[in-house]
Amino acid sequence: MAYSVVILVGGETTGTRFRPLSINTPKTLFPIASKSLISRIIDKLMSHLHHSISQVFLLGFFKDSAVFENYSHKLAGKYPTVVFEYLSEANSKGTAGGLYQYRDKILTPESEGLIFVHGDVFCNYPFEMMFDQHIQQRSGVMVLGVNPLLIPDFFRKYLNIQADDPVASEKNSILSCFGTIISKKASDSVMHYVEKPSSEFCVQFDSEYDVLINGGIYMFSKDVILNLLEVAHIRKETEEVTGKGDNISLEMDILRWLPHQTYSFDVFKHQDYWYNLKTPLSALLANSAFSRNSNGWNDEADQLDLEYTNPYVTIGKNATIGRNVKIGNGVKIENAIIGDNVIIGDNSYVTNAIIDSSVVIGPWCRIEGSINNSTIWNDIKHSHSAGNIQNIHNLVVLCENTHVSEGVFVFNSIVLPHKELSCDIKYEIVM
């Protein structure tokens, strides 16, 4: 059995809510717990389904494609029996437009189906169980469905925030931020799909149905996805705005029509944690999850050495340290990502922060963010809207080559690359 894999990696006009961390490194290649999300997705696919995967395509629209071409070349060396290739779109064509453009290359005569993954999704990637269900049920389309109440629980658990009791209004608010799936509890068949519904949406459905979030992982049989792409292309071409047939949204132009078709459309109900990498705060969440060796987050090939050898250094919970990092005596780090080649001076404190590569922090500095339930809700509700930089004032981001002078206090601030801080800053964006 040979399936093709497509992983969406975005482009210059997407992932903007992840800025400033994505200024120099594409979001899906940003190291979290010492490993990018794309690497985690591919490694898990190869671990679970290596006998069923023939080729993997990274699909994006970056003007400079060299970084992903080089990355694909490295993957080919790591997994020599699988074809890896970066496919470049001239511009954004929607979540399925590139798939339509390259359909003959992706779905060759030997291909039996397609695994389609959004590259900014992070979870424990249940590819094997989902694939088994897809094959056993002979699903034309299968989508990962996530319990919406797991999202705030996920934040609170891994960022050690005091939990509130989940209530119905909380579920409704979360549903309005994501694509929403209505499926039968008895059969897993999808009855309805709506993108970012109103907050009153789920009250229309009784206990015979599950109301789930679209988890951004799909499995298609070959004939079904080819037919769906062609129908969506024809529908777009006949719209009032001509020439837009190559811009296809998987969610709006295919999934929302699918329950009314004759194809088998099913959901794989995921009861573990899930989120997507949209903001710097979500990067801290992913870092916390991947750095804990529990519930399948880390496998034997992905163990992190968090035992720093200096007995006078305290590496607390949810902290990961990059390569070639120098840490002085008396330093304490917790709930933080420390990039490669960082220097942290004696007796400094770093918490709720992302320290990008080649940052220098002097002695006796305090780099501190504050994360609470309000922060969580801002990230969930606003991470899918423009201008989200206004909502990340509860952590610290120091971009690459930032220099922080001795004794400086940085609180809830964002500092762009190549800046020098010689005085305290609070709630600022240093351009």
Tell me the pLDDT of the chain (431 aa) as tens digits.
Answer: 799 999 999 887 665 778 888 888 899 999 988 889 999 999 999 999 989 999 999 999 988 889 999 999 999 999 999 999 999 988 888 888 888 889 899 999 999 999 999 999 999 899 999 999 999 999 999 999 998 877 777 766 666 655 554 444 555 667 777 888 888 888 888 888 887 776 555 555 557 888 888 999 999 999 889 888 888 778 767 664 555 556 788 888 888 787 777 788 999 999 888 888 888 888 988 888 887 644 434 443 344 444 455 778 888 888 999 989 999 999 999 989 999 999 999 999 999 999 999 999 999 999 999 887 666 666 666 555 444 444 456 899 999 999 999 999 999 999 999 999 999 999 999 98
Strands (E) located in 206-262: 209-221
Q: Helices in 145-248 by DSSP H: which ranges?
A: 150-158, 168-175, 222-237
- One CATH from 3.40.640.10, 3.30.70.20, 3.40.50.300, 3.90.550.10 for 3-283: 3.90.550.10
State whether the Cα torsion 47-52-54-55 is positive or negative: negative
- 338 contacts 318 by C-beta, under 8 angstroms: no
Q: Per-residue DSSP letters for 163-201?
A: P----HHHHHHHHTTSEEEEEETTT-BEEEEEES--TTG
DSSP structural state of residue 133? H
Sheet holding 403-404, edge to edge: 326-327, 343-344, 360-361, 403-404, 420-421
State whether the Cα torsion 12-16-21-27 is positive or negative: negative
Terminal C-alpha separation, the chain:
52
**Which residue's structure tokens are 């811009």?**
247
Which residues face 181 on adjacent strands? 193, 212
pTM to 2 decimals?
A: 0.87
State whether the Cα torsion 253-256-261-262 is positive or negative: positive
Residue 358 has a pLDDT of: 95
d(CA 101, CA 82): 22
What one-letter code names the amino acid at 266? D
Which residues face 411 on adjacent strands? 368, 426
As given in the structure block, the two tokens for residue 273 are: 């944690």
Residue 160 has a pLDDT of: 60
3-state secondary structure 286-326: HHHHHCCCCCCCCCHHHCCCCCCCCCCCEECCCEEECCCCE
Query: 285 to each of 20, 226, 239, 247, how far by Cα in Å?
Result: 17, 36, 41, 33
What one-letter code names the amino acid at 42? I
d(CA 240, CA 237): 8
| Domain boundaries of the chain, sorted by first residue | 3-283, 305-430
Q: What CATH number belongs to 305-430?
A: 2.160.10.10
